[in-house]
Structure 1
C-alpha cells in the first residue's frame, strides 16, 4: 500500500499578504515534491467582503469566494508550474477550518495581515490561534519583510532551542528545511546569568556566567545529538533573553523555527512567551512546530 501524500496547505483570503503566503507555500511544495492545497474559509467574508471589493474595484456582490481561490491558484501555477494545485471553499470560521485542515497537511502556511486596521487584528488572531492549536507545523509569514516568500535569500534556517532542549519534531523540521534549501542550520540557545549571582570579588568575577554558558552548551549538545549528518550545522550559545536573541537572529535568516509543546489536557493556547514574541516581531517567516509533552 502506497504512503499517503500530505499537501502543503495555504490559507487565503484575497489580501496581498495571503497571496505572498501562496508564493511561499508553492515554493515549499516544490521543495518537498508535494501538492499544494489552497483553502478559503468563506466566513471571512463577513469581515472582508466590502474592503476586498474596494481593492478589486467591484461591488461586494461581484466578489465571490471563487474569485479568491481562482486568483490564488493562478498565482501558484505561474510561480511553480510543476506543482499540483487544488482549491476549496469552506463555509466555516477560519480558525476552525485551518486547524482542521492541519490534521491532514504536511504544513500550514499563513499570512499575518489583512486590508484594514480591524482586519489586521483579526487575521493576526487567526494566525496565532492556528499556530497554537494545529497538529502540523505552521509557517507564519511576517508582513514587514517584502521578500519573505523568496526562499534562500540568506541561506540560513534558525532553530531556537528552549530550556528543555528541542524535541525531535522541531529538529527534524528545521533540518529538513535547511537540507532542502541547501542552507546552514543555525541552532541557537540563549542563556542569562541572574543578577543575584553576580559578584564583585576579583577571583570569582565571571564564574557564574561561565557556568550558565556551560549549562546552555550542554542543553544544546543534548538537543542536537540526533541531528542528521548531511546538514550544515552551526551551534551557538548567546547571552541574553531568548526573545531578543531569536529576533536578532531573524534579521539574517530565511526561516525561524520554534517548538510549541502540547498539553493534551489543556484547552487554551499552547504558545509560550518566546513563540508569541517571534510571531509578532520576527523579520523572517516563523515556523511553529508542535511537540508532545
Structure 2
C-alpha cells in the first residue's frame, strides 16, 4: 500500500492553501492524500473536514482522497500520522495562532518532532503554484543534508524544473576577505573547499536523476541569508535537520527557524536519516 501525503486542516485560509498545495503534490507523486483535523467539537470538525475534502476533490479528482477527525491535540495527531506518511503538509499559520506569529505553534512543534519531511506552505500564489521553475536546497558541509538533497532532487525531477543547490561558507577570522581570483583561500585544514562540498553532495543523486538541470551557488556569508535570497525566486526551499542527541525530535537550528519563519515560498524540513 502506498503511504499517503498527510495534510493538517483547521478551517483557516492558510490550511486551505496547504490543501491546494498538497493536492498538486499528491498528483505529481501519484500518492494518496489524507486530510487530518484534530481537537475540535464534533459538528465543527465535520464541517471543517468536509469543506477541505470538497476543495481537495475539486483540485484533483484523480487523487485518492481520505479524511479523518482525531480528538487530540493537533501537533500530537499530525506527528503520529507522520510515522507512516510520504510527508506532512501544514499551513504557515493556524486559526488559533496570534496574528503576530510568523509561524504557527503547531507547525513549529510538528517540524521539530516529525519522523517524515514536513512542508510548511508559505508565500504568495506565485510561489505556491510553481511559477518560478526551480527548487532550492541548502547543502551543509558533512552529511547533515544528504537526505534533504535527495528529497530536493526528487522534487525537481517530478516538477521537471531546475535544482538550485546553495552552500554558504565563512572564511576564518584574519584571512583576506577577497582571495586571489579563481582561488579558494585556505579555511581550516580539515574542511573541504566549498565547491567540493557541493560536488560531493550532488554526485550520487545527480546520477539517479539524470537530466535534472542543476545550478550550484557557493556563497560567502550566512547560510540564512543565502537561502532566503535564493528562495525569493523559488517554488520550494528544502533544508535538512539532524536528530537531537539524547532526545526525541530534530535539532532545529537557526537556519531552520529562519527559513520556517521568513521564507517567501513553501519550505520542507527533511529529517536526516
- State if a TM-score over 0.5 links the two structures: yes
Give the unaligned 5+ runs of structure 1.
46-60, 200-204
Distance 2:143 2:176 in 1: 25
**Of the candidates 156, 161, 170, which is equivalent to residue 192 of structure 1?**
170
| 1:148 CA drift (Å) | 4.0
Cα distance change of structure 1 residues 94 and 83 upon mapping to structure 2, 3 Å threshold: same
| 1:106 CA drift (Å) | 0.3
1:215-268 Cα distance to aligned partner (Å, 9 max, x none): 111111111120232321222211210000000001100000000111362236
Distance 1:38 1:116 in 2: 19
1:90-116 Cα distance to aligned partner (Å, 9 max, x none): 001111111111011101110111346
**Of the candidates 112, 119, 124, which is equivalent to residue 145 of structure 1?**
124
Give the unaligned 5+ runs of structure 2.
none
Where 2:61 maps in the other structure, the secondary structure is coil
TM-score by length of 1: 0.83
1:10 aligns with 2:4: no
Q: Which has the larger radius of gyration?
A: 1
Residue pairs, 1:1-293, within 5 angstroms: 4-43=1-40, 64-115=44-95, 118=98, 121=101, 124-142=104-122, 144-150=123-129, 152-165=130-143, 167-198=145-176, 206=179, 210-212=185-187, 215-227=193-205, 228=208, 229-263=210-244, 265-267=246-248, 269-292=250-273
Distance 1:32 1:222 in 2: 27
Q: Which moved more, 1:213-222 or 1:157-166?
A: 213-222
Q: Report the aligned-residue RMSD.
A: 2.4
Q: Which moved more, 1:184-193 or 1:120-129?
A: 120-129
TM-score by length of 2: 0.89
Q: Which moved more, 1:31-40 or 1:120-129?
A: 120-129
| 1:211 CA drift (Å) | 3.4
Structure with higher helix content? 1
Number of aligned residue pairs: 265
Cα distance change of structure 1 residues 82 and 126 upon mapping to structure 2, 3 Å threshold: same
Where 1:114 maps in the other structure, the secondary structure is coil
Does the CA-based 8 Å contact 2:114-2:249 persist in structure 1? no
